[in-house]
Each structure stands twice: as structure tokens, then as C-alpha cells.
Amino acid sequence: MKFQPESLRVYLVIGSQNVDDNPAEVVRIVQEACAAGVTAVQYREKDHSKLNQAQTVALGQQIRSITEAAGVPLYVDDDLPLALAIGADGIHVGQGDTPVTEIHAVAPNLLIGLSVHDLDELANSKADLAVVDYLGVGPVYTTTTKEKAKAAILPAGVASVAAKTDLPIVAIGGIQTGNVVTLAGSPIAGVAVISAITASADIAQSVQILMGEEK
């Protein structure tokens, strides 16, 4: 799959640990979110996931089916074997994860997203950005869904990273339907969320707001 910056517009990050360890709930939310128009999905089975290998693969296969049918690119968080096992379109890694050049050498067709906390981390990153398709920048706001999250950088922090790179940026961390408006006009391709969708009582409406259609 060729990378398209537009696919970062509303990027859902989800794993069983975000929905009371219930894989069926992950499936339901991914289905509703894809129907509602999310533009990318990241399968992130981490931080005390209670699934075993078979359950992790099985859920990944289901998410792959749904996203494929919807034409939505699927990324796997920091797990190259899993990404290849379920036929994901891409992988998302952090600064301390497997080097992007090594991933690209092994799986040249895989899209690659890289987390960058802030301007300092971009400046000091050893990653070869030539093989990276997009940057995930944040946390923008304080978040409770990711463990050991760094300090919130606010929309100004995102803008300062954007000024120093030509890579498309998806802003992440603490973004909700109630504060996404603060990113309107930011030099970003889109927003990545977990709870803004997983905890939503009306996923279709939440996705619409995150898209900016109701801003």
C-alpha cells in the first residue's frame, strides 16, 4: 500500500487493554469506526494486554479483515512479526524500538510510523527518517491510556515539530472531541485517538467531530 498523508486524518489506536480486555469489543469498535470513516487503525496490544499469542493473532486477523474491507490502512504497534503475520500495511515504532532502517530492510513494503515526543526528540533521533512515512507527535495533552506518557507538549509543541520536518504528522495524546478544536489550523495531517473513540457512546458522531466536520 502506498502511503497517503490523508490517511492520518482520524487515526484510531486500539487494543484489548483499552476495552476491559474484551477482544469482541475491539472488533465492534473497529467495525463502527471504519463505518464512521476513520482513515487509519493501529492495533496496539500492549501495556498489560491479557491476550495470549493465539488470541493476539486471532484479533489481529479480524481487525485486518475489517480494515481491508473498508480500505483503511492497518498499522501494528511495535511488533514486526505480528504485523507480517496478519498482513498489516504498516508498523508504528517508538524511538527505543527496533531501528526503522532494520525494519525497512526486512519488510520493504511495510509503511513505517515513528513516535516523536517533541522538538528535542526529533533533533536527537538516530532514526533514518528517509524510510519513515509519518511521525506521531505528542502527547499533545495529558493522557491516561498510555503508560509512562511524557509531558504534554500542547498544540504549540506540535507546531514546533512540524516546522522542522517535511514528514506528515499525526498528533496524539489526550485528544478528545472536546479539545480537538484547539488543533484546528495546526500544520498536521490528522489526529490519533484511543479513548475519544473507544469510550464514545456515539462513535459516528465522535469520528465526525474528530474529522473537523463539526468544528
- Judged by the rule CB under 8 A, the positions of this chain that interact with its own copies are 52-58, 61, 79-86, 97-99, 102-103, 105-107
Q: Which residues are identified as catalytic?
A: 44, 115, 146
Nearest C-alpha neighbor of 76 from the set 30, 42, 26, 41: 42
Does the annotation flag 45 for ligand binding?
A: yes
Q: Rank residues 99 and 212 by Cβ distance to its own copies and give the closer one.
A: 99
At 65, is the secondary structure helix, strand, or coil? helix
Query: Exposed (0-12), middle (13-18) or buried (19+): which is 149, by Cβ within 10 Å?
Result: middle
Does the annotation flag 174 for ligand binding?
A: yes
Considering the complex, what minimum distance in angstroms separates the CB of residue 89 from its own copies? 15
Residue with cell 512515512: 133
Does the annotation flag 20 for ligand binding?
A: no
Considering the complex, what minimum distance in angstroms separates the CB of residue 66 from its own copies? 17
Q: How many CB atoms lie within 10 A of CB 130?
A: 8
Does the annotation flag 44 for ligand binding?
A: yes
Q: Rank residues 61 and 142 by Cβ distance to its own copies and give the closer one.
A: 61
Rg (CA), the chain: 16
Query: Exposed (0-12), middle (13-18) or buried (19+): which is 108, by Cβ within 10 Å?
Result: exposed
Considering the complex, what minimum distance in angstroms separates the CB of residue 183 from its own copies? 32
Q: Rank residues 82 and 207 by Cβ distance to its own copies and give the closer one.
A: 82
**Residues that constitute the known binding site for Mg(2+):** 78, 97
**Residues that constitute the known binding site:** 42-46, 77-78, 97, 115, 143-146, 174, 194-195
